[in-house]
Structure 1
Amino acid sequence: MEQILAAAARLLGSGLSDPVDLGGSRRTTVLRCRTEDGGSVVVKAYPGGPDALRSFTAEAAGLTLGVAGPPLLAVDPEVPLLVLGDLGSAPTLADVLLGSDPRAAEAGLLAWARGLGELAARAVGREPELAALWRRFDVGVPTWAEQPWIAENAAAFPGVLAAAGVPAPAGLAAELAAVGAVGGPEYLAFTPGDTCPDNNLLTPDGLRLLDFEAACFQSVFLTAAYCRMPFSSCWCVFSLPPALARRVEAAYRAEVVPVHPALADDARWEAGMRDATAVWTVDATVRLLPRTAEDAPLHPTRRPVPTRRQLLRHRWQSAARLDGLPALTATFERLLQQTADTWPVDPLPGYPAFRPQAPAKTGPSAPAAVLGHCSWPPRMPPGR
């Protein structure tokens, strides 16, 4: 911590003091520090290893693009570290969803969906600029676009199924290849990468997006699926009231249709959403199924939170109803049958904020910070 503080002070040309550890992640150390003029900044350091270095480059490039996120005050590629403007300690979207105020939770969800859509619209056509920024901050790791995580998951999926005693049906490989295109390259959207609830501050000035460690351009449907599923790769996952879920998805879609007019076509939209839902469900299965020999909560401290088994069964139940993917839906049905008796878990309930007489949040909260981490480990592909 002292070395990080000293490096950031040299970068700013002024002293920093009273560092407070904001938690960070396996890849990062995040400190809120007092400045000499009585203000505060947030220092984020990346301690090494390919994932940490890629996160540094993505975040430096994504924030320099300037379409969202905390102010980027200084960058040191040698340490590496960033110095960021401090957005304060407003509640996150996770806080209100796990709380007891349904109005605050609904408003937060709609603000989150609109904010992601506005970000996608503002950044249309800026892929070359982000690529140039990646080269500017490159520390010798490939970009997220060069990390074929969807194809890697497709290749690993049959082995994961076999280890669980679930035979892969005929035609599975072809369907995995087809959904991996996720609507094709026509409908790209910029994303911070990890758009999960605790990376979104609900400030008096509106939504502020956090954590650009996987900033990239990806299929608009991969982000839109976070609205429908919801939160495709996150720990803060419960079910939403169906009418509200439709409104959240519509709020995101309304922002991206003006820049991608073809997405006003319902058939095209539904096909892309189907493929994205399948991609994220395969991702959840590959990441979590090998870790379900013993069930455990998805977050070490936050409560309430689903368990790995609860989340997987919820994902499989939804994906087993997808149209036009017979091999994949048969696979998810087989997984449900295989675990029906051996996984004694309750169905995934609704978000606490929308339950009748929802109790107050009981678990400890991670301090609101400029950066967070809520996707499951160990690797964070785009959209996580």
Structure 2
Amino acid sequence: MEMILHAAGELLGTDPSRPVDLGGSTRSTVLRCRTALGGSVVVKSFRDGPEGRRAFASEAAGLSLGLAGPELLGVDASVPLLVMADLGSAPTLADVLLGDDPEAAVEGLLAWARGLGRLAAGSVHRRADLARLRARYGGVGENGENAASGDEERWIAQRITALLALLAEAGIMTPEGLAEELAEIETTIWDEYPVFTPGDTCPDNNLITPEGLRLIDFEAACFQSVFLTAAYCRMPFSTCWCAFRLPAGVAEKIEQAFRLEVVAAYPALAEEAVWQAGIRRAVAAWTVNTTVWLLPRTAEDGPLHRTRRPVPTRRQLLLHRWEAASALEEFPALTRTMRRLLREVTGNWETPPLPGYPAFETRGIR
């Protein structure tokens, strides 16, 4: 703590005080600190090691673009550490969705979708800038590779390899052509209509402030296919713990809000066939990711978040994702795999369906 405060003080030119732990992660420590002038800043220090360095370089680079997020006040790559403007203690989109006001929930979701869409549309010409900034902040590994480059790691290909190994280990027979089908999805979507994203656009990383929606957490900032971001609207929230069912029509409304923004950058996305095919490829990719993430942890069920309640369980989310992916008929090997998982893995779970978001359930909106 002393080292973090000292490094932050060097950047600010004044000693920060009264640190309050804001949570952080296994990769970082996040503190709200008072300044000598009576204001406050947020200090984020990253753990040493490859994962911490990767997260630091991505966040520092992503915030340095100045496209979204809190103002970056200082960076020390030697710690590594960064100091940001404090956006205050506004509620997050997760707070609203877990609350009891459906109107506020819809407004929050639409603000989130429009904000992400505007960010995506306004970023298409900044990819080289992000790569340059990431390298500046230590993104080059020992062998010359860009160790912090989330968009260059081809994570979908890595998850496909992991999925095939996981299914074999679990004794789940895979249909002929699954590997080739997934490889085709990965190859097609990887660089399809690339846009900037903070990386983790889940509800708890979106503050609803008096000035509007503000994004936080840029540890996975990268350029990726616009469809991989858009799929967060449809699924919803492809990689998040705060994943429940949305009422009929709401997912479509937020997806359309996002799409209307990104069409300005990529007019071809106005074509229904282009949009639907891309989204469905993204849903397939994220379902592979979720399966690799959660299936090894379902021997015993448990909540998706350590402390937040209400929250779905691991089995509930997997069941929901597999059911949705089993309807992707244009990917026959994948759909057969999903149906096999539903039959052979979930058959003994006795797991209730994924519930709706509490904000809508309180008034019986489904």
After TM superposition, the score normalised by the length of structure 2 is 0.96
Which of 183, 202, 206 matches 1:196? 202
SS of the equivalent of 2:347 reads: coil
Can you list the C-alpha shifts for 1:11-43, whole angstroms capped at 9, x where unaligned? Answer: 211011000000000000000000000000000
| Alignment match, 1:347 | 353
Which piece of structure 1 moves more, 161-170 or 254-263? Answer: 161-170
1:219 aligns with 2:220: no
Could you tell me which amino acid in structure 2 is paired with residue 221 of structure 1? F
1:238 aligns with 2:253: no
SS of the equivalent of 1:303 reads: coil
Are the equivalent residues in 1 in contact too, given 2:154–2:190 (CA < 8 A)?
Answer: no
Distance in 2 separating the partners of 1:182 and 1:280: 14
1:183 deviation in Å? 3.5
Which of 157, 160, 180 matches 2:166? 160
1:122 aligns with 2:122: yes
Can you list the C-alpha shifts for 1:49-82, whole angstroms capped at 9, x where unaligned? Answer: 1111011000111000000000000000000100
Are the equivalent residues in 2 in contact too, given 1:222–1:276 (CA < 8 A)?
Answer: yes
Cα separation, partners in 2 of 1:237 and 1:182, compared to 1, 3 Å: farther
Distance in 2 separating the partners of 1:340 and 1:125: 45
Distance in 2 separating the partners of 1:184 and 1:314: 25
Q: Higher relative contact order by CA 8 Å / sep ≥ 6: 1 or 2? A: 1
| Alignment match, 1:14 | 14
1:333 aligns with 2:339: yes
Which of 193, 209, 216 matches 2:215? 209
Can you list the C-alpha shifts for 1:119-160, whole angstroms capped at 9, x where unaligned? Answer: 001111111111111121125442112322111111111221
Distance in 2 separating the partners of 1:153 and 1:86: 36
Distance in 1 separating the partners of 2:187 and 2:321: 20
Could you tell me which amino acid in structure 1 is paired with residue 278 of structure 2? G
Can you list the C-alpha shifts for 1:89-138, whole angstroms capped at 9, x where unaligned? Answer: 00000000000000110000000000000000111111111111112112
Displaced runs of 4 or more, over 3 A: none
Could you tell me which amino acid in structure 2 is paired with residue 262 of structure 1? A
Distance in 2 separating the partners of 1:308 and 1:144: 25
Distance in 1 separating the partners of 2:315 and 2:331: 23
Unaligned 5+ runs, structure 2: 142-146
1:181 deviation in Å? 2.8
Distance in 2 separating the partners of 1:184 and 1:263: 16
Cα separation, partners in 2 of 1:182 and 1:237, compared to 1, 3 Å: farther
Can you list the C-alpha shifts for 1:288-330, whole angstroms capped at 9, x where unaligned? Answer: 1011111110000000101111100000000000131000000
| Alignment match, 2:82 | 82
Could you tell me which amino acid in structure 2 is paired with residue 222 of structure 1? L
Unaligned 5+ runs, structure 1: 359-384
Are the equivalent residues in 2 in contact too, given 1:77–1:139 (CA < 8 A)?
Answer: no
Are the equivalent residues in 2 in contact too, given 1:182–1:222 (CA < 8 A)?
Answer: no
1:236 deviation in Å? 0.2
Mapping of residues 288-327 of structure 1, within 5 Å: 288-327=294-333
Percent identity, aligned pairs only? 63
1:191 deviation in Å? 0.1
Cα separation, partners in 2 of 1:139 and 1:244, compared to 1, 3 Å: closer
Are the equivalent residues in 1 in contact too, given 2:46–2:56 (CA < 8 A)?
Answer: yes
Two-structure CA RMSD over aligned residues (Å):
1.1
| Alignment match, 1:34 | 34
Could you tell me which amino acid in structure 1 is paired with residue 286 of structure 2? W
Are the equivalent residues in 2 in contact too, given 1:11–1:76 (CA < 8 A)?
Answer: yes
Aligned residues: 358
SS of the equivalent of 1:10 reads: helix
